Amino acid sequence: MQTNFSEEQLKNKDNQSSEKIFKKCVHCGMCNATCPTFDLLSDELDGPRGRIYLIQDMLENEKKPTPNVVNHIDRCLSCYSCMTTCPAEVNYMHLIDHGRKYIEKNYERPFLDKTIRNFLSVVIPNTKLFKLLSLFAKIAKPFKLFFPSIIKEMIELAPKSFPKKTVKNKEIYKTRSKQKIARVALLTGCVQKEISPQINEATIRILNRHGVEVVASKNINCCGSLNHHLGKNNKAHKDFINNINIWHEQYLKGNLDAILSNTSGCGTTMKDYGFIFKNDKKMKKKAKKISELTKDVSEYLLENLNLKFKSKEKKFRIAYHSACSMQHGQKVHNQPINLLGKTKNEILEIPDGHLCCGSAGTYNILQSKIAKKLLKNKIKNIESLKPQIISTGNIGCITQIANGTNIPILHTVEILDWYTGGPKPEILKGI
């Protein structure tokens, strides 16, 4: 694609790297074929090719974003399905991140939209505030009809209760009765550790049982991706820098073999820290190292450990939902399926599995109409397989899909933990 950035504009490092990406795009439009929003809305500007044009036009001509352009950019799920399809390896993720950052800086959003975005950016990464406001949402639920639709949506999506933790919060989880073979850091996350603590507990158990010590640094909370995707650069960078510095210090002490994420949305951003800080003299080496060390838990379990599976009498039909951030963002798809296959259950791939379930961070709140349509399609495809269990590797998808079906949904690591000697997941107790 031809570009027309001036020399002056190219002194800006963000423009410099986006220009290289624009040049790779050959306008073929193949990406539109697998884009969920193009599929639903049939508008060129709601597909990746159209959005690339919009972003390039804004940046090259230093245009003030219009409400229409912002709307098309906001409707992007950041699912990266287009990146899997693109034959020219256009890094759409870096373009949309740049576009969002530009919009955040140069566009004055309507009051309610701005307030909600600011609210989400503060509340979601703050576990105490998140719990408190979920309680308010529960109280406000009977009166939700009196609120604007976006607030109704937030009330509806807020967790109804918070499960009790069964494993004590610690900084270091030592291996049990086994020689230590590795030491890893685990991102325990912000929302996940409150609404589904069993995911971290299963992750820690399975690692400890197979000789891996786990470090869960108390000073690391959010990976920064929520604010990054809202275009809120300063807030996101605060989290990025904090995490990179802490993990790098642990790595330098010589005792960190990997950094694990069990939420694929977070893992995708952590693997991108290196790119995000590539122009930052002070941070770039450290950030690159942290990205290199980062692995999704399923990658680590498959590639580094010899898991000991125990067979069970009953066989289940398990539908595997490949989260977008996992399959498109990290290109991790076969690893969890391979691991689930070792449980000797029947593992089913979902039709149109490349399409998003509509969760996408805060998308199901900010773009609820599209998110609901995507969820409906996803549930139809899942239920067509008549599974007894759904498995996935991302808390956002777990929450979203659980809103559309009664089929129990579990993080993949919970199933793997159970089949390698851990307790049966609570949600499966009746089946």
28 vs 195: CA distance, rounded Å: 42
Helices marked H in 159-281 — which ranges?
191-195, 197-209, 225-229, 233-252, 264-270, 273-276
Per CB under 6 A, which region of 48-56, 143-151, 190-198, 380-388 contacts ligand SF4? 48-56
* 80 in contact with ligand SF4 (CB under 6 A): yes
* 363 in contact with ligand SF4 (CB under 6 A): no
Nearest of 230, 229, 241, 215 to residue 268 by alpha carbon:
229
- Cα Rg, the chain, nearest whole Å: 21
As a dihedral over the C-alpha atoms of residue 84, residue 85, residue 88, residue 94, rounded to 10 degrees, the angle is -50
* 31 in contact with ligand SF4 (CB under 6 A): yes
Q: Which helix (H) or strand (E) holds 75?
A: none
160 vs 162: CA distance, rounded Å: 7
Rounded to a whole number of angstroms, the distance between the first and last alpha carbons of the chain is: 55
57 vs 281: CA distance, rounded Å: 30
Closest CB to ligand SF4 among residues 297, 323: 323
* 79 in contact with ligand SF4 (CB under 6 A): yes
Residues 27-30: contacts with CB under 8 Å, at least 24 apart: 27/1, 28/87, 28/88, 30/85, 30/86, 30/87
* 40 in contact with ligand SF4 (CB under 6 A): no
DSSP single-letter state for residue 135: H
Closest CB to ligand SF4 among residues 310, 369: 369
* 26 in contact with ligand SF4 (CB under 6 A): yes
Which tokens belong to 157? 């999506």
- 212 pairs with which residues across the strands? 182
Among 19, 21, 51, 267, binds ligand SF4 (CB under 6 A): 51
* 48 in contact with ligand SF4 (CB under 6 A): yes
Least distance to ligand SF4, CB of residue 92, Å: 5
Cβ contacts of residue 25 below 8 Å, gap of 6+?
1, 49, 52, 88, 90
Least distance to ligand SF4, CB of residue 51, Å: 5
* 36 in contact with ligand SF4 (CB under 6 A): yes
19 vs 73: CA distance, rounded Å: 18
Per CB under 6 A, which region of 83-91, 195-203, 246-254, 404-412 contacts ligand SF4? 83-91
* 187 in contact with ligand SF4 (CB under 6 A): no
Among 3, 9, 12, 29, binds ligand SF4 (CB under 6 A): 29
191 vs 202: CA distance, rounded Å: 16
* 70 in contact with ligand SF4 (CB under 6 A): no
* 88 in contact with ligand SF4 (CB under 6 A): yes
Per CB under 6 A, which region of 21-29, 113-121, 291-299, 407-415 contacts ligand SF4? 21-29
Per CB under 6 A, which region of 32-40, 141-149, 156-164, 229-237 contacts ligand SF4? 32-40
* 35 in contact with ligand SF4 (CB under 6 A): yes
Measured CA angle at 295 (ends 289, 296), to 5 deg? 155
Judge residue 177's burial from the number of C-beta atoms within 10 Å of its C-beta, 0-12 exposed, 13-18 middle, 19 or more buried: exposed
Closest CB to ligand SF4 among residues 2, 177: 2
Least distance to ligand SF4, CB of residue 11, Å: 26
Among 65, 70, 92, 348, binds ligand SF4 (CB under 6 A): 92
Among 28, 132, 172, 431, binds ligand SF4 (CB under 6 A): 28
Among 82, 154, 301, 390, binds ligand SF4 (CB under 6 A): 82
* 78 in contact with ligand SF4 (CB under 6 A): yes
* 76 in contact with ligand SF4 (CB under 6 A): yes
Per CB under 6 A, which region of 10-18, 34-42, 233-241, 376-384 contacts ligand SF4? 34-42
Nearest of 343, 344, 347 to residue 333 by alpha carbon:
347
Q: Interface residues with ligand SF4 (CB under 6 A)? A: 25-31, 35-37, 48-49, 51, 76-82, 86, 88, 90, 92
